[in-house]
Amino acid sequence: MSEVMIVFRREFLERVRSRAFALGTVLFPLFMAAMWIIPAKVGQGGGSRTIVIVDQAPAGVGALVEQGLTNPQGPAASGKDRVTYTVQRVAQPLEQVRATLIRRVQAKEIDGWLYLPPDIVRSSQAQYRARNVANFAVIGDLQRATTQAVQAARLQAAGLDAGQVAGLVKRVDVATARVTDKGEEGGSAASAFMLSYIIGFLTYMMILLYGMNVLRSVLEEKTNKIAEVIVSSMKASHLMLGKILGVGSVALLQVAIWATVTGLISSRGDFLARRFNLPPGAFDMVNVPVGTLLAVLGFFVLGFLLYSAMYAALGAAVNSEQEAQQFQVLVMAPLIIPIALVFRIVSDPLGPVATVLGMIPFTAPVTMAMRLAAAPVPPVQIVGSLALMLVTVLAVAWLAGKIYRVGILSTGKKPSLAELGRWLRAA
């Protein structure tokens, strides 16, 4: 068996047999799911509010506001996370009741009060005072109910019927679907965005996690002085190659496991949707063409090779994880750029920002994963970007190998930039 294979086998088995791998394979998708579901759940919250309306407004407005809150019409009425309101209306001036209201809020008898001033139709100003004014759902409801009431009053003053006007200005819903090489395909704008973000984020996380794994593995050999024994039996470059391929294969195995499970889920999508009371097509977004998947995989593999080579060099150059932390950010910075610009890339996947980031080898893996999931990227760009990456991987690996060779046997303080330059020349 060749040296590279022996190292490969050790790195692969050590990781696959570890508890961390099993846990990661199960927990990572749960973590990803939680990242999507929890923010969506928090902030809706539902629940109920008791509110006093201090009604100084012209006749009818207060009643309409109350009705808008307790018995809403239109899109606001649907959704099980809706906040329900209990409303009391008082007609005294605010100055007379303010002290009482404050006491009642403090006693948690009511949640807050909404003040509708006498000139509300002209000034468009109302006030809401409550223990918690940070709940967007409640503020939104109050704004909508008050606006509708005031608009109705204004329309009436102009001699128009509110119901008629509402029918005239009804907004239009735009239904979305992607057109791909195969024709029109399902998937809403939201699910296309989700898919694009998930695939981009997954690529980012996997490159980062497994790149760090390479770094830690190099550091272990260096700090435990294993490197010296190994290098007396084989070439340092072979050691680095075997290590990167070994760790990378673990990442691919993990991805393969997830892909298989996802494939099973999507092939039973309709059944699962019925089983869990989800709308039909809830799993449609996992239907991605095979060609796209292969291209994403290609970018992931090259991206991993690129970053793990840099992480291997970093691990060899420093002496401890603490030291590595300081430089880690520099290595991963280009990887974060597409994540930071995710909205720009996904909302305009064929636009200039996405195209340029997709061609730069250091930002390409994550960017291209997002773009490929969001739109039909021209094949010329895919092939061109892959080719550029391949060349970059070879060049970076060559440089990293030199730093690695000298670094794993070095001791003492961490090298300065000038010393790193010397290593590059010497090796």
Partner 1 sequence: MNEALTLEGVSKRYSAHIAVDDLSLVVPRGTIYGILGPNGAGKSTTLRMVMNIIARDAGRISLLGADPVADRTVLRRVGFLPEERGLYRKMKVIDVIVFFGELKGMDRRAARASAAGWLERMGLGDWKLAKVETLSKGMQQKVQFIATVIHEPELLILDEPQSGLDPVNQEVLRDTILNAREQGKTVIFSTHNMEQAEQLCEHVCIIAQGRKVLDGRLRDVQRENIGNRWYVEFDGGSDQVSRFMRGETRYGPVTPHGEGWRVEMDAAADPRPLMAAVAALDVPVVRFERERKTLHEIFIDRVSGAVTPQRRPEVAHV
Rule CB under 8 A: which residues touch partner 1? 1, 3, 6, 10, 14, 18, 220-221, 223-226, 228-235, 406-407, 409-413, 415, 419, 422-423, 426-427
Residue placing its CB nearer to partner 1 in the complex, 14 or 284: 14
Q: Shortest Cβ distance from residue 174 to partner 1 (Å)?
A: 56
Q: Shortest Cβ distance from residue 138 to partner 1 (Å)?
A: 53
Residue placing its CB nearer to partner 1 in the complex, 246 or 303: 246
Q: Shortest Cβ distance from residue 13 to partner 1 (Å)?
A: 8
Residue placing its CB nearer to partner 1 in the complex, 100 or 320: 320
Interatomic CA distance for residues 369 and 100, integer angstroms:
59
Residue placing its CB nearer to partner 1 in the complex, 284 or 323: 323
- DSSP three-state, residue 89: strand
Burial class (CB in 10 A: 0-12, 13-18, 19+), 363: buried
Q: Which two tokens mark 336?
A: 């974060």
Interatomic CA distance for residues 69 and 64, integer angstroms:
9
Per the CB < 8 A criterion, the answer to whether 68 and 145 are in contact is yes
Interatomic CA distance for residues 194 and 343, integer angstroms:
11
Burial class (CB in 10 A: 0-12, 13-18, 19+), 273: middle
Residue placing its CB nearer to partner 1 in the complex, 298 or 415: 415
- Calculate ∠ Cα 392-393-399, nearest 5°: 90
Q: Shortest Cβ distance from residue 19 to partner 1 (Å)?
A: 11
Q: Shortest Cβ distance from residue 304 to partner 1 (Å)?
A: 22
- DSSP three-state, residue 145: helix
Residue placing its CB nearer to partner 1 in the complex, 49 or 222: 222
Q: Shortest Cβ distance from residue 366 to partner 1 (Å)?
A: 31
Q: Shortest Cβ distance from residue 415 to partner 1 (Å)?
A: 6
Q: Shortest Cβ distance from residue 179 to partner 1 (Å)?
A: 51
Close Cβ partners of 207 (under 8 Å, ≥ 6 residues apart): 300, 303, 304, 307, 335, 365, 366
421-426, long-range: CB < 8 A, 24+ apart: 424/399
Asked whether the CA dihedral 85, 88, 90, 93 is positive or negative, the reply is negative
Residue placing its CB nearer to partner 1 in the complex, 68 or 407: 407
Interatomic CA distance for residues 52 and 104, integer angstroms:
10
CA 89, chain centre distance (Å): 44
Residue placing its CB nearer to partner 1 in the complex, 94 or 427: 427
Q: Shortest Cβ distance from residue 233 to partner 1 (Å)?
A: 4
Residue placing its CB nearer to partner 1 in the complex, 13 or 264: 13
